[in-house]
Structure formats: C-alpha cells, structure tokens
Structure 1
C-alpha cells in the first residue's frame, strides 16, 4: 500500500532536485541513549519514500512517528516529508552559506545533500539520519561522517587538525555504553567516536584490509559540537559485502 503525503506547500527550493540516495533513519532512546535504525528514507528522480524496517518493532521504547503512524505503509511524496523538512536550513537565512561551509558543501548544495551531511540533528531531538556508504563494483568504498561525542573528549578541545590529516580508528571494548564502540584518535588523543550505525560497516572495511581515514573538514569552537570534525574513510569490502543490507534491514513494504 502506498500513501501520498502532503508536500511542503509553497517553496520549490525544498525539492531535492538532482540529488538521489538513501538515508537510514535512526532513533535514540532518551533513557538508554542507544541509537537504533528504524526506517529508510529514499529519494529518487521525482519522489521521496519512507518505509519502516521490520526490526524497528523490537526496538525498546520506539513507537511509530506521528507523521508515519502505520508500520506497513509505503509513504511517498513529491516533497520532503514534514518530519525532515525542518531539519534543513532555508537558503533565505543570512547564515545559510556559512552553514554549508561548516558542512563542507558547495554553495549550490541541495537540501538532500544538506540533510545527508548534517545528519538532520537538532538539540534535544531523538532522530538522526545517516547516508548509506557507497560501494563500487570492485568493492572499493568511501564514506564521510561527522565525529560523534566531541564534547565528551578533553572538554571539547581538539588538537591541531587540518584537511588530509590521517586519524586512527581504535576499538574501545571497555566502553560502558557500547563494547563495540570505536574511538577516533589523533596522536594518542581521543577526539570522539565513530557513529554507532557505522560500526558494522567500519568493522567490515577493517577486516577487508587497508583502510585510511582522514580529516575532510574541521570547524572552530563556534560550530555545534556535532559539526566540529568531518572525516573521510576509504577502503574496501570483500566477498560482495554491502553496508546496511541483509535481514536486519528489511522493510515491511519491500
């Protein structure tokens, strides 16, 4: 079953235009702080699509979003759904171009590109989105992600960082919240963590062999903590492995 969601009424600039792709929609439990994938958000040539993941039924404390009340509906819209549209900065704001620079996006970046890069996070919110990492036919893969938890390392103070500087990804099995956690380390100093939803992907890339992770962009202390450091990971996946695929990522509507 499909349902046509109401579009954003008047502004064509909200349309993602040329951008296409898939984002994982994640929900953070406000009590345990654990982050779990609950849905997929796709954008094709002319529509957006939202579908719940089957395992979302088993996520403790999670209930369907008000905008998407039915687990099994295949929601479609020509415009970005109201749940996600407010997570994009309007190009009419005077600080819009400065925000794009913080995200290391070109001046003509589309709303979809902005949403994918920023994660759609807002203060006190429980929703985040993550782009599915790209994988080539030869298994080569690349992924850009914002370092999580910068504010909790060294009181938010960062060592000197420049574009292209290599960083280490160090497993942290003693992490009290997630024994699978991976720290981002510069010259022995932790600066934050790999986002939880990328841990399986990062593990697969590390198992396949060579992996290189470098600073793509760094912002000053005036930027929100979750936007301070953008990293670029390059490597490969073996045996036809694909990120965010398999039974754990099946949707109700196929």
Structure 2
C-alpha cells in the first residue's frame, strides 16, 4: 500500500496549509478519504469540498487513478516523459504515478493543492524524505551561484528556522560552506521540527542536479534522513486521521 496525503493552502491573508485528504493505492484500486484536517480547514479558512469529492464523510474508490491526481502527472505519451523521469531520478521501467506525485508534489498553478508521501519510520528509528529543494529562486544571488556548483552526493546541513515569514518554523538546507540554498517542503515541518530541535541527528544530501531546461522547482533533488524518538510515529496526529472507514 502506497499513501499520499493532500494539503490545501488557504487564501490570503493567512496562506496556512492544512492536510485535508488521504489517497491510498495498491495494484488493484485507489481509495480517497478526507482527513480530520479538513474540518479545521473549513472552520478556520472556509474550505469547501473538492468538486471531485463533494462528500466529506464518503470513502471514494476507483480502479484507476482519480482524474484530480492523474492530471498532475505528465502524460506518459509525451516525447519528454523520459526526460521528466530523469529529472526525478526514477527508473522509466518502474516509476508509477504515486511515486511521481510523491516527489513532485503535484502542484498546479490553477489551484491550492499539494500532495506528499506518508513518512514511514524504519527499523533503525529514522524517516527519509526525497523532495525537490524549495525556494531556490528566493535565496541570495551568491547562494544561487553556489547551488549551480552542487554535485550529486554532496552533503547538506539541516537547520531549524524559527522565524520564517511564511511558515514560522521551517527546515533550512545549507551547504557545508554556509550558503542557505533553500528549504524542505512544508509538510515535513510539523513532524520533524521537534526531533530536530531535541536531538539534531538529521543529514541530507544532493540526489540529483538538473540543469538544462529544468525550472527552479526541479533543479535540486534532495534526500533527507532524520532520527525520531522511539515512541514517535510520523503523520499520526488528529489532522491525518481519516473521516470515513
């Protein structure tokens, strides 16, 4: 079973993010359910049910990926699909839409939704996330120039930012020589903020660098691993609990 969560961003002035849904996929079917975070989004920011999923209490099932998500993945019939997978560091023979969405976030300019994979703790007490570096276009010119010299496998430093103007807390990625080159995705903040503050055991590295033709949002693919407390299970707070069985 592969799981993605869906986050919705509220409009101005708060621009707050809420986890509102969960998509589960196996080889035979797809299931979408709203999570309890949608109730908070509705109460605090006026969220209205997605057109594709109008009933907050219903379990939606399908044998094919729902159009809301399918439309966020590049059409496999496009000539540049192989290059697209190359940017994501995925094997063309094994990549599936859920894996693609988990890395790209499925962002579109036409709405305020983002998808992200469920974090899973493994036997050594760590969680690992792979994502594209966020905010590269917003760092200093010197940092952007330094980012152009990044190499696959290069180690990055991980730091907690406590006064980010957009999110309050944020997870920074820095080069070994001190350049802030960007941030981890928002969905990691709530689950990794406390482990990083209490016992900073995280490490990150550059998985892939995309240059020619790649937009800023697809330039630097990062893998971050963080140790978490023994009793901690990521993404199990009330906001992630599903409303329908």
TM-score, length of structure 2 as denominator length:
0.88
| Contact 1:36–1:197 (CA under 8 A) maintained in structure 2 | no
Give how far 1:103 is off: 0.8
- Structure 2 stretches lacking a partner, 5+ long: none
Aligned-pair RMSD on alpha carbons? 1.9
User: Which ranges of 4 or more aligned residues in structure 1 deviate by more than 3 Å?
Assistant: none
Aligned to 2:30: 48
- Cα distance in 2 for partners of 1:33, 1:218 equals 30
Aligned to 1:76: 61
Aligned to 1:8: none
| Contact 1:134–1:143 (CA under 8 A) maintained in structure 2 | no
More off after superposition, 87-96 vs 226-235: 226-235
- Cα distance in 2 for partners of 1:185, 1:105 equals 25
More off after superposition, 189-198 vs 98-107: 189-198
1:115 to 73, 78, 101: 101
With over 3 angstroms needed to count, the CA separation of the structure-2 counterparts of 1:52 and 1:64, relative to structure 1, is: same
Give how far 1:194 is off: 1.4
Asked if residue 203 in structure 1 is aligned to residue 193 in structure 2, the reply is yes
Give how far 1:208 is off: 4.6
Aligned to 1:227: 218
Aligned to 2:5: 24
User: What are the within-5 Å matches in structure 2 for residues 51-70 of structure 1?
Assistant: 51-59=33-41, 60-70=45-55
| Contact 1:158–1:191 (CA under 8 A) maintained in structure 2 | no
Aligned to 1:145: 131
Give how far 1:104 is off: 0.9
Aligned to 2:174: 185
2:164 to 175, 180, 190: 175
- Cα distance in 2 for partners of 1:162, 1:233 equals 16
Question: How many residue pairs end up in the alignment?
Answer: 235
**Secondary structure of 2:187's match?**
helix
- Structure 1 stretches lacking a partner, 5+ long: 1-19
| Contact 1:221–1:228 (CA under 8 A) maintained in structure 2 | no
With over 3 angstroms needed to count, the CA separation of the structure-2 counterparts of 1:239 and 1:71, relative to structure 1, is: same
Give how far 1:123 is off: 2.7
Aligned to 1:96: 81
With over 3 angstroms needed to count, the CA separation of the structure-2 counterparts of 1:209 and 1:190, relative to structure 1, is: closer
With over 3 angstroms needed to count, the CA separation of the structure-2 counterparts of 1:200 and 1:147, relative to structure 1, is: same
**Secondary structure of 2:159's match?**
strand
Give how far 1:96 is off: 0.3
